[in-house]
């Protein structure tokens, strides 16, 4: 018995000693500095976007390690592969997985045992997975369309075994700046899924921006003369004989049954003309001339808001759309007078609400309880989120009256985006200077907004510091100091203001201009090279714009009579050197818009006239 017990104990000890060698080996990571003999493998029948994703990966890895990896459509060995997109070889590898149930932008990255697998849902998940991998593990930063930061990997950079997935909380994202809108490649890199048209870039979302639509769905030019009853009644008069070319003059009468028929027919035609779209707009024009006829007024009074008649009308269109196109949703703006949710009318299941932050202060976080301009918006968002499962946001992020002036609202971007996410918002339109390039710090603004829309958990301040440091290098500190000064000044004064204003409305005065001129002069002296100096120059435009504010205000006051009211001598002498510098810099850096509806050339003509300059005469 004793010998038997001893033998049993010895066997147990031997088994325990052998267990580590018998067990499955621990997974290993990958050293990104040692990708010699590696390749990139794409599916045999890869989509154009997956082919493009592999090319983007190869190009940026090449910049980082000086090695151009080959791209194949099959794997000839177990390891040393980067799989881009799902394939049988990828699924059978040590890092394999299936994307069968993935959403269109959902992605997964697996690293283990000499294999990297990057794949996602179609059409954009794999491409976005590649950009995520480049950013998070190679340190790539897509700063502007012309400036991608790719740091050298060095002698070793080990990525430990990992398995991570991501599905962006916002299914529709638009950082609305000219730098994005005019550059599809850059838009794809910053994962703005509302701009790229090309299939290789993943295309754009089938969802469109919900926008003013009645102007073309029931135009007064077609119906106004013969059917004034189709249009809004204000003070007992129907506003039917108006130009309405930009939806600024009137609204339809939303309780007229013929209006419902006309708009529904236009909507159905639009859906059939654009089968790739997943929604359609049925929305108010850009004015507050909602109908006050007896029927509309009674409905609005019962519901406590003009949205009562509007949402009732939208529901009527949505019911008919559901019968013919159940996959298409009907969206409407909750904007201006229609922002408040009605008392009893509820949106149909196929209705989307695009809530606009009209009337809010852009200088305070949207959920700042001490900002009276913003508290009602938060109430409206919570009210809509309680009755609609598809709420979108239209948020204003620029000064539409003065694109080039300093605007102290960079600090609110992060809390705003995070608040939208926390309220279950699905789509976010962050409206900046979308028709322009070179608006005040627009490249920085886009970098912060695009990154936060993709991942709202990131730090806005960290993104700002990252951009400034990488883009302006040694010149970054004085630029950051000026940004802080502009924001601290507005906060100290307790300014609450919206998206239309002059310099004084945002606390920009002579002392801020002087500090800005000094900051950018220092930044120019610190600039590392000619390219950085050009970037600093472009950023300095905002200070020179602020320096000519008095001249511009005079022009606005006397625009039609400048010949009789030239600039006072003191203002002309003080501002003319800055005007000269300002327009020279705008020309050099391709800045094309002064404000939303005035181009640089038009502004220059007005300034020349105010200074009494002849055609071709220099400032």
Of 273, 306, 337, which residue constitutes the final position of a domain?
A: 337
Does the residue 563 lie in any domain? yes
Measured from the Cβ of residue 440, the count of other Cβ atoms closer than 10 Å reads 23
In a domain, 152, yes or no: yes
Q: Let me know whether 153 and 237 are in one domain.
A: no
Q: Are residues 153 and 260 in the same domain?
A: no
Q: Are residues 215 and 147 in the same domain?
A: no
Residue 495 sits in the same domain as residue 603: yes
Verify that 252 and 150 share a domain, yes or no.
no
Number of other CB atoms surrounding residue 37 within 10 Å: 11
Answer yes or no: is 589 within a domain. Answer: yes
Contact predicate 82/57, CB 8 Å: yes
Low-confidence ranges of the chain (pLDDT < 70): 1-24, 244-246
Domain coverage including residue 323:
211-337
Claim to verify: residue 35 and residue 158 sit in the same structural domain: yes
| Domain-embedded: residue 590 | yes
Task: Check whether residue 158 and residue 220 sit in a common domain.
Answer: no
Same domain assignment for residues 145 and 245: no
- Would residue 453 count as lying in a domain? no
- Helices 549-557 and 530-547, interaxial angle, to 10°? 50
Model pTM score: 0.94
**Cis omega (within 30 of 0) for bond into 227:** no
Does 550 map to a domain? Answer: yes
Whether 90 is in a domain gets the answer: yes
> Angle at Cα 405 formed by Cα 400 and Cα 406, nearest 5°?
110
> How many domains does the chain contain in total?
3
The answer as to whether 19 is a domain residue is: no
Q: How far apart are CA 62 and CA 581, in angstroms?
A: 41
Tell me the three state secondary structure of residue 164. Answer: strand
What are the CA-CA distances from residue 563 to residues 555, 567, 613 (Å)? Answer: 11, 10, 11
CATH code of residue 163: 3.30.379.10
Same domain, 253 and 330: yes
Beta-bridge partner residues of 593: 599
Same domain flag for 604 and 483: yes
Residues 221 and 143 in one domain: no
Residues 153 and 229 in one domain: no
User: How many other C-beta atoms can be found within 10 angstroms of the C-beta atom of residue 389?
Assistant: 12
Domain boundary among 310, 337, 364: 337
Residue at a domain's end among 318, 337, 356? 337
């Amino acid at each position: 018995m004793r010998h038997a017990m001893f033998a049993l104990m010895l066997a147990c000890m031997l088994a325990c000693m052998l267990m580590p060698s018998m067990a499955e080996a621990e997974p290993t990571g990958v050293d990104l500095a040692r990708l010699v003999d590696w390749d990139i493998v794409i599916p045999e029948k890869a989509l154009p976007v997956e082919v493009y994703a592999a090319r983007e990966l190869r190009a940026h890895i090449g910049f980082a390690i000086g090695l151009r990896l080959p791209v194949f459509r099959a794997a000839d060995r177990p390891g040393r592969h980067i799989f881009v997109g799902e394939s049988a070889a990828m699924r059978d590898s040590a890092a394999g997985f299936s994307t069968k149930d993935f959403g269109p932008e959902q992605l997964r990255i697996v690293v283990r045992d000499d294999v990297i697998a990057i794949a996602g849902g179609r059409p954009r998940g794999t491409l976005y997975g590649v950009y995520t991998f480049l950013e998070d593990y190679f340190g790539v930063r897509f700063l502007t369309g012309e400036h991608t930061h790719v740091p050298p990997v060095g002698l070793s950079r080990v990525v430990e075994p990992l398995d991570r997935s991501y599905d962006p909380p916002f299914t529709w994202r638009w950082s609305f700046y000219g730098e994005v809108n005019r550059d599809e490649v850059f838009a794809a890199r910053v994962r703005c899924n509302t701009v790229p048209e090309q299939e290789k870039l993943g295309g754009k979302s089938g969802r469109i921006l919900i926008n003013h639509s009645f102007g073309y769905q029931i135009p007064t030019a077609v119906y106004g003369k013969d059917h004034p009853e189709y249009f809004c009644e204000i003070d007992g008069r129907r506003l039917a004989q108006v130009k309405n070319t930009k939806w600024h003059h009137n609204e339809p009468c939303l309780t007229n049954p013929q209006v419902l028929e006309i708009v529904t027919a236009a909507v159905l035609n639009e859906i059939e003309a654009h089968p790739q779209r997943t929604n359609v707009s049925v929305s108010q024009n850009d004015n507050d001339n909602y109908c006050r006829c007896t029927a509309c007024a009674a409905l609005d009074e019962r519901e406590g808001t003009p949205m009562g008649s509007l949402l009732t009308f939208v529901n009527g269109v949505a019911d008919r759309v559901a019968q013919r196109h159940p996959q298409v949703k009907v969206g409407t703006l909750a904007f201006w007078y229609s922002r408040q949710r009605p008392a009893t009318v509820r949106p149909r299941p196929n209705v989307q609400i695009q809530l606009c932050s009209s009337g809010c202060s852009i200088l305070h976080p949207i959920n700042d309880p001490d900002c009276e301009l913003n508290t009602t918006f938060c109430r409206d968002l919570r009210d809509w989120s309680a009755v609609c499962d598809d709420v979108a946001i239209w948020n204003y992020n620029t000064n539409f009256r003065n694109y080039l002036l300093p605007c102290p609202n960079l600090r609110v971007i992060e809390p705003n985006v995070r608040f939208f996410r926390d309220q279950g918002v699905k789509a976010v339109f962050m409206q900046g200077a979308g028709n322009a390039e070179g608006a005040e710090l627009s490249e920085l603004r886009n970098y912060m907004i695009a990154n936060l829309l993709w991942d709202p958990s990131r730090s806005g301040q960290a993104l700002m510091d990252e951009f400034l440091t990488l883009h302006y290098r040694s010149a970054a500190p004085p630029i950051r100091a000026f940004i802080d000064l502009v924001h601290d000044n507005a906060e100290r004064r307790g300014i609450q203001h919206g998206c239309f204003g002059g310099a004084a409305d945002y606390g920009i005065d002579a002392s801020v201009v002087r500090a800005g001129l000094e900051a950018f002069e220092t930044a120019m002296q610190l600039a590392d090279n000619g390219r950085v100096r050009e970037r600093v120059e472009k950023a300095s435009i905002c200070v020179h714009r602020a320096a000519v504010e008095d001249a511009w205000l005079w022009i606005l006051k006397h625009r039609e009579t400048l010949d009789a009211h030239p600039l006072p001598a003191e203002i002309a002498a003080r501002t003319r050197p800055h005007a000269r510098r300002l327009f020279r810099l705008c020309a050099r850096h391709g800045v094309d818009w002064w404000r939303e509806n005035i181009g640089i050339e038009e502004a220059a003509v007005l300034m020349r006239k105010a200074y009494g300059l002849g055609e071709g005469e220099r400032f």
